[in-house]
Structure 1
Amino acid sequence: MKFQQLTLEDKPLFDRFFKERRYENAHYNFTNLFMWRKAYNIKWTVEGKFLCVKACWEGETFFLPPFGPEEGLADVVEIMLEHAKEENFPFSFQGVEGYMVEWLEKIKPGYFSCKPERDNYDYVYLAKDLIELKGRKFHTKKNHVNSFRKTYSNYQYVPMTADMTQQCIDFMAAWCDERGCVKGDSLDCERNAIVDAMNHFTVLGFQGGAIFIDGKMAAFTYGEMNNNDTAVIHVEKGRKEFKGVYGVINQEFCAHNYQEALYINREEDMGIEGLRKAKESYHPVKMVEKYIVKVK
């Protein structure tokens, strides 16, 4: 297998593969892979009808499941198994959706072990729930949003344009300072990924929005349609000093961009307790389960 580094010029090819079948994993789109390509050393190659992606995080090399049809899967998996052996790293697929687990079991019964990655399950919500916040279960959320709007009655929601990207980059520098980022740590990697996306805003083609209070950016977010009925929110960042700003940027962005979507995927909680509580509090209607697949 001859892998190559991921570049901006690869977007049409990746977009073609991702549109050939339905993927629910929030990471399976070009924007997400591109913005994290440096942190994860993402490389790719095409084998027959399959797009194959390899990555490395904290010294562990792994594959994403091959993107393509069920037909021919056995052959490409054998090629990937052989590549891992040749390159001397333990074979594994990460971020595997449920249907792929079934496919792998069918082609090599009893060969693979499969472990759920609960910390990486994606939270999926009804778009109308996030936009309308209707009903008793969203009563507290609606109160927080209303309190913000009362406290900061002069706030403005502004759709993201290319001339706002530098403000988002500056925002992330301040965000990182607030949290004590250390060069090379996970927060620094996240900041760098977001900056990379902002620097390629026009070409990547995602949508975004920001909240301004007295001319100061208080929050920003961006996302895109991940499949025919589901939008994915890639990033949502707010300043701590503006209580309730996360709830408002979430509602405003979805209302401005995803009225026609059925679902909103707000990605995983990474096992962070506070983030898990926050994502559960919006009452997801389903979770996108993900698995790690290894050789037994």
Structure 2
Amino acid sequence: MTLDDKQIINEFVNMNSIESYEYLFSSLYMWRKLNRVKYAIIDDTLIIEKNEEGKGTFYARPLHYKKENLVNLIEILKKRNEDYTDRDYFFGDVDQDFINDLKEYTDYNIEIIEDVDDFEYVYKTEDLIELRGKKYHGKKNHVNTFEKTYNYEIKAITNESVIKDCLELLHKWHEEVLKTIDKEMCMEIDAIKDIFGELQYLNLESIAVYVDEKLAGFTVGERVNDKLAVIHVERGELEYKGVYAFINRKFLMECFSDTEFVNRQEDTGNSGLRKAKKSYHPVKMVKKYLVKLS
């Protein structure tokens, strides 16, 4: 997958009503190296192949498939899989609608696994901007603390100086928070560096928050349509009290205030991240499933 594939992928995505951010070109491109993303068009259907740690290689939900041809499509993919041994799951990142079609239009034996760690958190944009009521009292206090304590400035990630600062913060974040820089984490840094150079082409929005000319945090996201925004990256320096609550709210105010919902992606099974995402009170979870098929 390269930047040249953007139009092809977008055409198929736009023809389908997919809730998950996983199918956005920006996401596929960003993680193409880590997840070894490939694609093919078979019978006017987009097939995306991915590899994820702990899951092996699988096919994502086919896009623009004909229900009556679903068996033929799967047989082509099954034939391809004969040459590989890392295929514990046939499909991944699929929704309930696709599972329903598998049950109705095919006779395969299907085992369905809820990919709970990969469920995506969706919030009302207005809730995360206004922070009204008792349930958001703590978040509002964090925002107020940041705004009253620090002399801050907002910049877009549009020049080499800001990009350099963001990458330095990323390295520091991995060393201090994760206590390691392993291969996967290095690839994450490389993935984020990739999109910094293509923010405009990928139609991504960004802000970097500086305190006394030092980077305190940054975030990158995109508008999917009139109703939905997606947050792709968010990192902050924990030494600045309330930085995450501030960035979360400020980014939505500056770039996505007219959307109805915001998808803040999954928690990957990380207990701290899960607690943080739940604390913002999602209104919906985008459920994703893994499928074994025989």
Q: Which TM-score bucket, shorter chain as reference?
A: over 0.9
Amino acid at match of 1:145: V
Task: Determine the structure 1 residue equivalent to 2:274.
Answer: 276
Q: Give the secondary-structure state (helix, strand or coil) at the position aligned to 2:241.
A: coil
Q: 1:160: which partner in 2?
A: 157
1:70 deviates by: 4.2
C-alpha separation between the residues in 1 aligned to 2:72 and 2:175?
A: 48
CA 1:38/1:237 → structure 2, altered by over 3 Å: closer, same or farther?
same
- Rounded to whole Å, the distance in 2 between the matches of 1:171 and 1:215 is 14
Partner of 2:135: 137
Q: Using the alignment, how far apart are the partners of 2:204 and 2:2 within structure 1?
A: 17
1:247 offset after TM fit, Å?
0.5
User: Secondary structure of the equivalent of 1:87?
Assistant: coil
In the TM superposition, 1:120-135 aligns within 5 A as: 120-135=118-133
How many Å apart are 1:175 and its aligned residue? 2.3
1:243 positional shift: 1.8
Letter in 2 for 1:108: T
The partner residue of 1:262 within 253, 260, 263 is 260
Q: Relative to structure 1, is the Cα distance of residues 25 and 85 closer, same or farther in structure 2, using a 3 angstrom cutoff?
A: same
Separation of aligned partners in 2, 1:40 and 1:165 = 24
Letter in 1 for 2:156: P
| Counterpart-to-counterpart distance in 1, 2:197 and 2:157 | 13
Residue of structure 1 equivalent to 2:30: 35
Give the letter aligned to residue 294 of structure 1.
K
Amino acid at match of 1:165: I
Q: CA deviation at 1:19?
A: 0.8
Where 1:15 maps in the other structure, the secondary structure is helix
1:159 partner letter:
A
Letter in 1 for 2:57: T
CA RMSD of aligned residues (A): 1.8
Q: Does 1:62 align with 2:61?
A: no
Choose from 78, 81, 94 the match for 2:78: 81
Q: Residues 74 and 261 (structure 1 numbering): CA distance in 2 closer, same or farther, change over 3 Å?
A: farther
Query: 1:162, 1:202 within 8 Å by CA — same for their partners in 2?
Result: no
Question: How far did 1:110 drift?
Answer: 5.3
Number of residues of Structure 1 aligned to a counterpart in Structure 2: 289
Which residue identity is paired with 2:39? W
| CA pair 68-189 structure 1, distance change in 2 beyond 3 A | same
Matches within 5 A, 1:175-186: 175-179=173-177, 180-184=179-183, 186=184
Once residues 134 and 292 of structure 1 are traced to their aligned partners in structure 2, the CA distance between those partners, rounded to angstroms, is 37
TM-score, normalised by the number of residues in structure 2? 0.92
Q: TM-score, normalised by structure 1?
A: 0.92
TM-superposed deviation, 1:109: 3.9
5+ residue gaps in structure 2?
none
Task: Show structure 1 runs of 5+ residues with no match.
Answer: 1-5
